[in-house]
Each structure stands twice: as structure tokens, then as C-alpha cells.
Amino acid sequence: MSEAAERPMAAESKGEAPARGRLKGRRILVVGGGQDERDDPDPPMGNGRAMSILFAREGARVAVADRDESSARKTADLIVTDKDCVGNATMMAADVSKPADIKQMVRQASEIMGGLDGVVYNVGIGGGMGLEGSTPEIWDRVFAVNLRGAMLTLQAAMPLLADGSSIVLISSIASMKPGSRMPSYDSSKAALAGLMRHAGLEGERRGIRVNIVAPGLMDTSIGREATRGRPNRAKTPVPLGRQGTGWETAYAALFLMSDEAAYITGQILAVDGGMTGLR
């Protein structure tokens, strides 16, 4: 491990940095804003929950959507009780494998908040180890959630988004290099890049930006479960010497959602400790 990797984590990496009002007045829908804790007795902060809380700390009104209603409600409750949140939150249940749920989710979020200035699609499932373990049913289910759900969300949201809005799709570095060993997951996440570029073209005349955040090895409940199933995952050599946190994914999404990224669209930002760039 390098000397740099031994430094204490930054306040941002732990979700402890002070807010700066970077999303003041924004109305943002976070799809997948709950958290799958996988029965972890002490779950770390996941990507979706971290983004929802961070956006609210930075002044946004956040609509938290998740298939698990109780998990979405917990995220919204954490926002309401967080002393650092100056924005607020509402929640709704939606299963993105069901097209009708997506239409209702986007419409409801827009109606409750009086419009939309941003959308994050933070949903991903996998299944089928290797080509031999992949079936048509697994393939179709994964693509329905990871890719079709994203397309339908953007289809419903684009007419409602204010000019100058931002869309962030959460992918994975598995879309850029082999790693998950699940062809359906890797392929569906890679296909998000094509969707991102098309949506960016459709949104360009209205200044609607569309980008991707691609996390690497993250210390989340889902990541920990993956490590239990494949212990050598924990030994993966990460240039910065550790796995990432949900807060680090959230800060990348915050940057792309904010006016600091006003001239950035059609890009993939890897949050991976250097795995794709240096390994």
C-alpha cells in the first residue's frame, strides 16, 4: 500500500464535509434512493442513500424512489432529521421493471416538487455467472431493470425537466473492464453509455446534460455480499489502496448535478481509486 493510501480519509469520503449550497432550489428525483442492506448488522452508507442525503444537504428538494417502500421512507426520514439538510424530501415506491410504475413515479415526483431539475438513475441487478450460467430469462430481467428502466425513466422525465437540468446514470466500471463475471450485468451497464449519449443529443438544445458515474469496488452492503461470494474480490489491487464509499459516489454525482459541471455532458466519470486508469 502506498504512503498516499495510508492517509486518513477526507471528510467528503465519510460524509462529514460542510455543505456549500451547490444545489439550492433544485428539485431532484433519485431513482434507487433507498438501500439494500442485505441483513448487514452495521451497513455502510450506500450510493443511493448517500446521494439523496447529500443533495438535500446542498439545498435540493429530493424525491426518493425505490422498489422497497420502507427503505425509501427511511432515506426520506434521515433527510428530515439530518441537522445539516437544508433541503427536504418526499418518498415513493416504484418498481422500474414495470413501465406503468415508472410513468407514475416521474409524474408524481414532478407534481409534488413543482417540476424537475435533475434525475439520478441508481438501479442495478445482476444474475447468471459466466456465459454458461446465463439464461434468456436472466438476461431479459437484468436488461429490463438496468437498461430499459433507465430509458423509460428518461423518456418520462425529459418533457418535464426544466431547461438546464442534469441527468446522472449510475453505471459501474464493470461496463469498462471485465470484473463482475456476470455478462448480463456488464453488458447492460455498458449499454447505458449509448443511452447517455442519445439522451444528451436530445437534451442539448435545452441545455439538459446527461452523464454517467461509474463506481468501482465500493464498501456497500451489496459490495460486502459480493465479497462473501467471491473472497478474492477484497484482494483486488486498488491503486489508492482501499475500497470506495457511498459518499464518494455521491460527491461525483453532486458535481455533475451542479452548475460546476455546466459544460460537461456525454461523459463517464469513474469513481474507482484508479482501477480503470492505472490497472
User: Which carries the bigger pLDDT value, residue 261 or residue 38?
Assistant: 261
Residue 265 near residue 64, CB atoms below 8 Å: no
Tell me what pLDDT residue 236 has. Answer: 83
160-169 pLDDT, tens digit each: 999 999 999 9
Tell me what pLDDT residue 61 has. Answer: 97
**Sign of the CA dihedral with 254 first, then 172, 33, and 105 last:** positive
Domains detected in the chain: 24-36+44-278 (3.40.50.720)
CA 123 to CA 146: how far, in whole Å? 6
Weakest-pLDDT range from 66-75, 111-120, 178-187, 202-211 = 178-187
Among 42, 16, 5, which Cα is nearest to 250's?
16
CB within 8 A of 70, min separation 6: which ones? none
Q: Is 200 helix (H, G, I), strand (E, B) or coil?
A: helix
Catalytic (active site) residue 251: no
Residue type (1 letter), 89? A
The CA-based dihedral angle spanning residues 101, 180, 238, 272, taken in that order and rounded to the nearest 10 degrees: -30
pLDDT(3) > 70 = no
Q: Quote the DSSP letter at residue 32.
A: T
185-234 pLDDT, tens digit each: 999 999 999 999 999 999 999 999 999 999 999 988 777 877 776 777 77
Inter-CA distances, 64 with 12, 49, 80, Å? 22, 9, 12
Residue 166 near residue 212, CB atoms below 8 Å: no
Q: Could you tell me how many residues make up the chain?
A: 279
Q: Looking at 121, 185, 251, 263, which residue is catalytic?
A: 185
CA 210 to CA 201: how far, in whole Å? 9
Rank 79-93, 208-222, 250-264 by mean pLDDT and report only the highest.
250-264
B/e letters for 113-137, b = 16+ CB within 10 Å, e = fewer, are beebbbbbbbbbbbbbeeeeebeee
Tell me what pLDDT residue 6 has. Answer: 59
Among 101, 139, 105, 136, which Cα is nearest to 119's?
105
Of the chain, the percentage scoring pLDDT greater than 70 comes to 97
**Sign of the CA dihedral with 28 first, then 30, 12, and 189 last:** negative
Mean pLDDT over 22-44 rounds to: 90
- Compute φ and ψ for 213, nearest 5 degrees: -110, 125
CA 194 to CA 251: how far, in whole Å? 24
Q: Is 91 helix (H, G, I), strand (E, B) or coil?
A: strand
